C-alpha cells in the first residue's frame, strides 16, 4: 500500500507558484524575481500602467501566449511598435471576429473595462441575453471528451449563446480538459469568438474512499478544524492548479458563511463559527485561487458566497423551502456575518459573489430575497463594502428550469418576497437590483421580455455583461482559453497533491474521548467497519497490507473495534410544503438520531421506536439513517454480552454539529471527522509514523436538541451547557 509522503509546505508552495505563474505569463520564479525592468516610452509618449492592461508589468507590456484552437478558422494579427529608443517590438493578437482588423476587445494592451465595453457594443440582444445565463452543462459523455452530435451543450452555445456553465462533477482529467477545450473551440469559431467559462462548486472535499480525478481533502469545515493558514494557502494553490488543468476557470466558492446555527444543513461548506478566523482563511483562499491580491491572468474566478451571510437560517431550515425563507438575527449579530465578506471584498478583491436565497427578516432591508434586493446588492455590497466583481444568482432563484419540458416549472422555489411576479418581472427586478448573472435559469425569451415589458433596459443588460466580461478578460480567456490535455492527468491528483490532502485529513480529525484505547498497537486484532461495506476482504487487505494488524470478523475476538458512522440525517415530507423536481421538503432540525420533539406543528407524524438494546422511545421521529446509531449500539451489546475486552472506537463523520449523548458513554474512543478516507482514519488510529491528533472543534457540540432550540441563530456557540466547546480537541 502506498503510504503517506512527507510534504514540505514551503517547497510545495514554491513549486506550485512557479507552475501557476507560467500561465500568468508575466511572473517568473528565480533569482531575478525582484529585478526591475527598465521603463520605456512608446511613440504616443506614455507607458502602460498597472490600472490599465492586466499584461502591464513595471510599465512594460508582457506579450501573452495567443492560442487558436485546432481546426478553428481564426487568425493572429501582429502590430509593430517602436519604443523611445528606436527598438521595434512586435505584438500578437487574436482576430476573434475575423475582420482582419484589431478591434479594441481583441487588444490585450487595453484595460479590461475598455475591452468589455467594446465587445458588448458589438453583441446582439440575443447574444447579451444568452451571455448572462449560467446553466448547468451536460458534462463529459465520451471517453475522449468529444461532444456528441446531439449534445445540448452544442445547441446551448450555437442557439442560446451561452458562454458559461456549471460542471457538477469533473470526470477523468484528460477527458474533462478535452471536453472543455471542445466547448471553447465551438465558441472561438463563432462570429465574435467569445470564450466559454466553466465553473464548479468546491469539489475537493471527500468523505468516502472513491478514487477521483483530483486530490482528496477534508471539506471546508475540516480546514476550519485544522485552522492553519499555511494549510489553507496550500490547499488553494493545489486546488487552483488542478481545476486549471481540467479547464475549469471559476469556483462557486469559497463559502464565507458562519456556522452559528447548528441545525443548518450546509455547515460542512463553511469553515466554522468564529468570524475573525473565518475571514482570515477566506481571504487566503481567494488570494490563492485568484493569483494574488486581486484576480490575475491564469487565476480562478472566486464567487464568494452566500452574501451577505447565510448562516443564521431560521431554526436551521433550508432556504430552498418556505419554512427556511428567512435569515434572522435575534442576537442583533448581522454585522458579524457580513464581516468575512467585507474582508473578502476589501483584502482579496473577490471577483464574484453569490447572494443568499433568503429574506433578511430582522434587518432594515426590503423584504425580498437578497438576489432581488438593491439595498443588499448595490447599497451594501457595492457602495458600502466596495465589491467590484459580478453577482451570480443561486440556482433556481427565478423558478426551476426543466430542460426536458423546456419551461420554467410554476411555483416560487426561493423567489421569496416576489413569488407572484412573472419571470420577466423577477429578472428585471434582480438585474435592476445589481444582479449580473442568472444561475441555472434557462431561456432567452423572458430575459428579452424583461426589456420589452419595461422591467429593465438594454443598458441594464449591457452593464451586467460588462461586469462579467471584465473577469473573462482578466484571466486571459480571450488570448488562450485552452487547457493542456496531455498534462491534466499528471497534475490532477498527483502523489504530492494527494499527500498534502491526506496530511490535511489527518490534521482535521478531532479526538473527543479516549479511555486508554488509543493509539492502537500495530499488532492488534482489529474489527473494522469503514465507509464502505465493513470488514470484507477489501478492508482486510487494506489494513493488513498497510498496518501489520490482524483483521477479525467477530467483534468479540478483537482487541479493538473501529466503527465509522455518519451524523444523523433526515429527509422528511412536510405536508405544508409544495414539492418540486423530487424535493420533498427541508430536513429535520434534530442533531440526534432520535428526535424526541419532532416538528409536529408542520405536520410530522411521530411514532414509537425501540432501539437494539430494548429501550422504548414514544412519539419520536427517527433519522433516516438510524442504522448508524444501531451499528454502535449493536457493537456495544455484542461486546458486553460476551464479556469481551474489545475496546470500541467510533469515528463520526460530521457535516454539522452533532449531539453525542446517544452513544458517547458507550464507546472507549470517539473521533469527529469532516471528510476523511479510511486511510486517513487508520493512520491516526494506529498513530502511523508518530501521528497524533491535532484538530480542534470549529464549532461547539451542543448537549441536547432542547438546548439547540433555545440558542440564537445568529450567535456563535451560545448553547447553555455544550457537551464540547469550540476549540476542544484531545491528543495522544
Which whole number is the average pLDDT over 425-447?
Answer: 92
* Residues that are catalytic: 394
End-to-end CA distance of the chain: 25
Q: Which residue has the higher pLDDT, 209 or 47?
A: 47
- How far is 511 from 693, CA to CA, in rounded Å? 6
Write out the H or E segment, with its range, that includes residue 185. helix 173-188
- How far is 479 from 74, CA to CA, in rounded Å? 12
Which whole number is the average pLDDT over 198-208?
Answer: 82
Q: Evaluate if residue 8 carries a pLDDT over 50.
A: no
Q: Which residue has the higher pLDDT, 45 or 605?
A: 605
CA atoms within 13 A on the CB side of 414: 27
In which band, very low, low, confident or very high, does the pLDDT at 442 lie, cut at 50, 70 and 90? low
Other residues' Cβ atoms within 10 Å of the Cβ of residue 375: 17
Looking at every residue in the chain, the average pLDDT score rounds to: 88
Q: Evaluate if residue 483 carries a pLDDT over 90.
A: yes
pLDDT digits (tens, 9 = 90+) for 621-657: 999 999 999 999 999 999 999 999 999 999 999 999 9
Q: What is the pLDDT of residue 575?
A: 56
pLDDT digits (tens, 9 = 90+) for 108-135: 999 999 999 999 999 999 999 999 998 8
Among candidate residues 324, 305, 323, the one with its CA nearest the CA of residue 387: 305
H-type helices in 566-721, by residue range? 626-641, 678-685, 705-710
Query: Which residues neighbour 715 within 8 Å (Cβ) at sequence distance 6 or greater?
Result: 260, 331, 333
- How far is 364 from 375, CA to CA, in rounded Å? 9
pLDDT digits (tens, 9 = 90+) for 240-280: 999 999 999 999 999 999 999 999 989 999 999 999 999 99
Q: Which residue has the higher pLDDT, 92 or 601?
A: 92
Q: Evaluate if residue 577 carries a pLDDT over 70.
A: no
Amino acid at each position: 500500500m502506498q503510504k503517506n509522503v512527507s510534504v514540505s509546505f514551503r517547497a510545495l508552495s514554491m513549486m506550485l507558484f512557479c507552475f501557476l505563474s507560467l500561465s500568468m505569463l508575466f511572473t517568473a520564479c528565480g533569482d531575478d524575481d525582484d529585478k526591475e525592468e527598465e521603463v520605456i516610452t512608446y511613440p504616443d509618449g506614455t507607458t502602460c500602467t498597472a490600472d490599465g492592461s492586466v499584461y502591464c508589468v513595471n510599465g512594460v507590456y508582457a506579450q501573452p501566449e495567443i492560442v487558436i484552437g485546432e481546426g478553428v478558422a481564426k487568425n493572429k494579427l501582429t502590430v509593430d511598435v517602436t519604443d523611445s529608443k528606436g527598438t521595434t517590438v512586435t505584438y500578437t493578437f487574436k482576430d476573434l471576429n475575423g475582420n482582419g482588423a484589431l478591434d479594441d476587445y481583441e487588444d490585450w494592451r487595453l484595460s479590461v473595462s475598455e475591452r468589455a465595453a467594446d465587445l458588448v457594443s458589438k453583441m446582439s440582444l440575443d447574444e447579451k441575453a444568452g451571455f448572462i445565463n449560467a446553466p448547468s452543462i451536460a458534462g463529459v459523455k465520451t471517453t475522449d471528451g468529444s461532444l456528441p452530435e446531439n449534445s445540448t451543450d452544442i445547441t446551448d452555445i450555437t442557439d442560446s449563446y451561452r458562454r458559461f456553465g456549471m460542471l457538477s462533477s469533473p470526470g477523468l482529467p484528460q477527458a474533462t480538459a478535452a471536453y472543455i477545450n471542445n466547448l471553447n473551440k465551438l465558441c472561438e469559431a463563432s462570429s465574435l469568438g467569445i470564450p466559454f467559462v466553466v465553473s464548479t462548486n468546491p469539489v475537493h472535499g471527500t468523505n468516502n474512499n472513491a478514487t477521483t480525478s483530483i486530490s482528496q481533502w477534508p471539506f471546508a469545515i475540516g480546514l476550519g478544524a485544522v485552522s492553519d493558514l499555511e494549510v489553507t494557502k496550500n490547499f488553494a494553490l493545489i486546488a487552483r492548479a488542478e481545476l486549471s488543468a481540467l479547464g475549469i476557470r471559476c469556483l462557486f466558492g469559497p463559502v464565507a458563511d458562519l456556522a452559528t446555527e447548528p441545525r443548518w444543513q450546509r455547515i460542512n461548506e463553511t469553515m466554522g463559527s468564529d468570524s475573525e478566523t473565518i475571514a482570515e482563511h477566506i481571504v487566503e483562499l481567494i488570494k490563492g485561487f485568484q493569483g494574488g491580491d486581486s484576480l490575475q491572468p491564469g487565476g480562478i474566478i472566486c464567487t464568494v458566497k452566500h452574501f451577505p451571510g447565510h448562516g443564521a437560517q431560521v431554526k436551521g431550515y433550508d432556504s430552498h423551502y418556505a419554512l427556511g425563507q428567512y435569515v434572522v438575527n435575534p442576537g442583533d449579530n448581522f454585522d458579524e456575518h457580513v464581516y468575512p465578506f467585507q474582508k473578502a471584498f476589501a483584502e482579496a478583491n473577490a471577483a464574484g459573489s453569490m447572494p443568499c436565497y433568503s429574506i433578511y427578516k430582522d434587518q432594515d432591508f426590503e423584504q425580498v430575497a437578497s438576489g432581488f434586493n438593491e439595498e443588499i446588492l448595490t447599497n451594501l455590497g457595492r457602495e458600502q463594502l466596495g465589491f467590484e466583481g459580478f453577482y451570480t444568482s443561486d440556482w433556481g432563484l427565478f423558478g426551476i428550469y426543466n430542460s426536458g419540458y423546456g419551461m420554467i416549472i410554476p411555483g416560487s422555489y426561493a423567489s421569496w418576497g416576489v413569488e407572484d411576479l412573472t419571470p420577466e418581472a423577477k429578472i428585471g427586478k434582480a438585474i435592476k437590483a445589481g444582479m449580473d448573472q442568472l444561475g441555472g435559469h434557462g431561456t432567452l425569451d423572458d430575459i428579452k421580455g424583461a426589456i420589452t415589458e419595461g422591467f429593465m433596459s438594454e443598458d441594464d443588460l449591457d452593464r451586467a455583461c460588462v461586469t462579467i466580461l471584465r473577469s473573462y478578460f482578466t484571466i486571459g480567456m480571450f488570448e488562450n482559453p485552452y487547457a493542456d490535455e496531455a498534462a491534466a492527468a499528471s497534475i490532477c491528483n498527483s502523489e504530492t497533491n494527494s499527500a498534502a490532502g491526506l496530511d490535511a485529513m489527518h490534521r482535521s480529525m478531532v479526538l473527543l474521548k479516549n479511555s486508554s484505547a488509543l493509539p492502537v498497537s500495530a499488532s492488534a486484532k482489529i474489527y473494522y467497519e469503514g465507509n464502505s461495506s465493513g470488514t470484507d476482504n477489501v478492508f482486510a487487505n487494506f489494513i493488513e497490507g498497510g498496518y501489520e494488524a490482524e483483521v477479525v470478523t467477530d467483534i468479540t475476538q478483537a482487541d479493538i473495534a473501529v466503527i465509522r458512522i455518519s451524523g444523523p440525517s433526515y429527509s422528511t415530507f412536510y405536508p405544508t410544503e409544495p414539492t418540486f423536481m423530487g424535493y420533498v421538503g427541508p430536513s429535520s432540525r434534530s442533531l440526534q438520531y432520535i428526535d424526541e420533539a419532532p416538528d409536529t406543528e408542520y405536520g410530522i407524524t411521530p411514532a414509537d421506536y425501540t432501539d437494539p438494546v430494548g429501550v422504548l422511545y414514544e412519539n419520536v421521529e427517527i433519522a433516516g439513517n438510524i442504522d448508524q446509531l444501531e451499528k454502535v449500539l449493536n457493537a456495544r451489546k455484542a461486546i458486553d454480552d460476551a464479556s469481551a475486552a474489545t475496546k470500541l472506537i467510533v469515528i463520526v463523520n460530521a457535516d454539522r454539529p452533532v449531539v453525542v449523548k446517544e452513544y458517547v458513554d458507550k464507546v472507549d474512543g470517539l473521533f469527529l471527522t469532516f471528510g476523511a478516507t479510511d486511510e486517513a482514519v487508520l493512520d491516526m488510529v494506529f498513530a502511523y509514523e508518530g501521528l497524533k491528533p491535532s484538530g480542534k472543534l470549529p464549532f461547539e457540540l451542543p448537549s441536547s436538541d432542547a438546548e439547540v432550540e433555545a440558542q440564537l441563530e445568529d450567535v456563535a456557540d451560545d448553547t447553555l451547557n455544550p457537551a464540547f466547546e469550540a476549540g476542544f480537541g484531545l491528543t495522544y
